[in-house]
Amino acid sequence: NGVPPGNDMIRFSKGNMMWHSDYSYTADWAAQSILYALEAVSKGGETEWASTEAAYDALPEAEKARLSRLTATHDRFHSRIKNGFTDFTEEDYRLTPPVPHPLVTTHPVTGRKALLLGSHVSTIEGMSEADAEALVTELTAHCCQPQFVYSHGWTPGDIVVWDNRSTLHRGRAADPTERRVMRRTAVFGEGVEGPEIQVVG
């Protein structure tokens, strides 16, 4: 909000409206994120969080077992391309290569299991692209049912800290003519546990 038309921040903002976990396209993605509101809009612009732990707990045992054997590839450019970015360089791809993560992870502190999904998932090992996309869509819809979601409407001075290892989040649309100023930082630390994955390359 308050960004000139055509600015890349607009496309980034569209990406933020998709369910995701911050930096899941890196090997050791953000453990926590912090979002602070300096200026807020009068209506809309909420941020929503979905508990991927509660969603995992609600799955049938057979489905938990099936998903625990799957590995997903997270690709920064997969989600960016969906939002109109095309001007990537070879250096961009070299600096942020796709990374594999287990679809079911174990939190290093609580020991709880969670689903690791989001808009950065490009493929799932052993599945066609279409089948992988269908599964991610199905599981994301499961995670984002109302009973698993918290929605926060922002006022200036609000600050929210969340655990990326057990949640997905997204931003909601706001009036583009209103000014909104947010500050975000990410904390990188101990990752999650899952089946051993060999990274080649």
Output the six-digit token pair for 22: 């911050």
pLDDT given for residue 78 in this prediction: 77
pLDDT given for residue 11 in this prediction: 54
Could you tell me the CATH number of the domain that includes residue 176? 3.60.130.10
pLDDT given for residue 197 in this prediction: 37
Task: Look at residue 137 and tell me if it is in a domain.
Answer: yes
Residue keyed to tokens 């799955």: 59
H or E stretch at 39: strand 32-39
Task: Look at residue 42 and tell me if it is in a domain.
Answer: yes
Instruction: List residues with catalytic annotation.
Output: 20, 22, 169, 184
Q: How many distinct structural domains can be found in the chain?
A: 1
At CA 149, angle to CA 147 and CA 155, rounded to 5?
A: 135
Task: Look at residue 49 and tell me if it is in a domain.
Answer: yes
If we measure between CA atoms, which residue out of 33, 133, 141 comes closest to residue 73?
133
pLDDT given for residue 195 in this prediction: 46
pLDDT given for residue 10 in this prediction: 55
For 60-182, where are the alpha helices, taking DSSP H only? 61-67, 76-82, 90-95, 129-143
pLDDT given for residue 172 in this prediction: 94
State which residues form the domain around 183: 8-20+31-70+102-116+127-187
For the chain, where are the alpha helices, taking DSSP H only? 8-16, 52-57, 61-67, 76-82, 90-95, 129-143
Contact yes or no for 145/54 (Cβ under 8 A): no
Task: Look at residue 60 and tell me if it is in a domain.
Answer: yes
Task: Look at residue 121 and tell me if it is in a domain.
Answer: no
Task: Look at residue 2 and tell me if it is in a domain.
Answer: no
Say which amino acid occupies 139.
L
pTM to 2 decimal places: 0.84
Task: Look at residue 86 and tell me if it is in a domain.
Answer: no
d(CA 2, CA 36): 17
Task: Look at residue 199 and tell me if it is in a domain.
Answer: no
pLDDT given for residue 19 in this prediction: 95
Contacts 24+ apart (CB under 8 A), 3-6: none
Q: Taking the chain (201 residues) in consecutive chunks of 10 residues, what is each chunk's mean pLDDT?
A: 52 74 90 95 95 98 98 87 76 85 95 95 95 96 98 98 96 89 87 44 32
pLDDT given for residue 85 in this prediction: 74
Contact yes or no for 175/44 (Cβ under 8 A): yes
